[in-house]
Amino acid sequence: MVKLFIFFYTIFTVKMINSILYKLFRNHRRGWDPIGEEQLKTYSSNVHLQNIDSAQLDNILKYFVNPKNKKVLDLGAGTGRHTKFFSEIGCQVDWLDVSVNMLGLAKEYVGDEKKNITFHTKHIEEVDELTGHYDLIFIRLCWYYCFNDYSFANKVMSKLDNGGILYLLTNNSKYKYQEVKIHQKIQIFLNQYFNIKIGHPHPPEGRVRKLFTKKGMKILYQKLDNDTEELILKF
């Protein structure tokens, strides 16, 4: 009985439900796209594209100095508005997003033929398939799409170059908690207490910070609101 429990627990935590679902049903290579037409309309509006937080980016540049020719990975990059920013200050930028619809929009917005941008249509969990290491990994509002907070943090760290910077902005599970439906509350609970991740619950408060600092990363900057955490880290 105990062995059976351990077997199933391992399947659900290590093998991870979301990874199985992705392989079976939500695979962009088989036409699945998280961004539908309605969302695409919102994302392609000038209001969204130009709504870039320049204070956030200026702050990153305090730690990410001499950016020219440095390698940047924009994970869950969406419309590419941050990819565009980093390419314009001379970085070599890898845009990565699972959405083929977003790929079209980003190519249109940032320019398909720019030499210093490479587009990768991949799941964020496939980050380890990219070659090389990065001077800056930029993860803004897409952490919760990972299959497992723990293993994803390890993957991200493995792609950082020596001295590389990690920028992370994520909501935590307190975000709009009163409004989330009962099944989402269960997902949050399972992720927080059993490391079983079904769907896309936001990480529990403080988890991502601990995952990186536990492995030796130092916090260069942090802004912690009740439901949002912004971090700049370095080994």
How many CB atoms within 10 Å of residue 175? 18
- Tell me how far, at minimum, the Cβ of 156 lies from ligand SAM, in Å: 13
Q: Is residue 99 involved in binding ligand SAM (CB under 6 A)? A: yes
Region of 56-64, 71-79, 110-118, 224-232 interacting with ligand SAM (CB under 6 A): 71-79
Helix (H) and strand (E) counts in the chain: 10, 7
Q: Is residue 67 involved in binding ligand SAM (CB under 6 A)? A: no
Among 77, 91, 137, 157, binds ligand SAM (CB under 6 A): 77
Among 142, 166, 211, 231, binds ligand SAM (CB under 6 A): 142
Q: Is residue 201 involved in binding ligand SAM (CB under 6 A)? A: no
Sequence-distant (6+) residues with CB within 8 A of 225 are none
Q: Which residue of the chain is nearest ligand SAM when measured via CB?
A: 78
Q: Give dist(CA 62, CA 41) in Å, integer.
A: 34
Sheet of 160-171: strand order equals 117-121, 92-97, 71-75, 134-140, 160-171, 228-234, 218-224
- Tell me how far, at minimum, the Cβ of 118 lies from ligand SAM, in Å: 15
Among 11, 14, 141, 219, binds ligand SAM (CB under 6 A): 141
Q: Give dist(CA 36, CA 213) in Å, integer.
A: 36
How many CB atoms within 10 Å of residue 86? 28
Helices (H), the chain: 2-10, 17-24, 37-44, 46-50, 54-63, 81-88, 100-110, 149-158, 182-194, 207-214
Please, which residue, 110 or 160, has the CB nearer to ligand SAM? 110
* Widest distance between CA atoms in the chain: 59
Among 70, 71, 81, 159, binds ligand SAM (CB under 6 A): 81
- x-marked contacts with ligand SAM along 33-62 as a string, rule CB under 6 A: -xx---------------------------
Binding residues (CB under 6 A) for ligand SAM: these are 34-35, 76-78, 81, 97-99, 102, 123-124, 140-142, 145
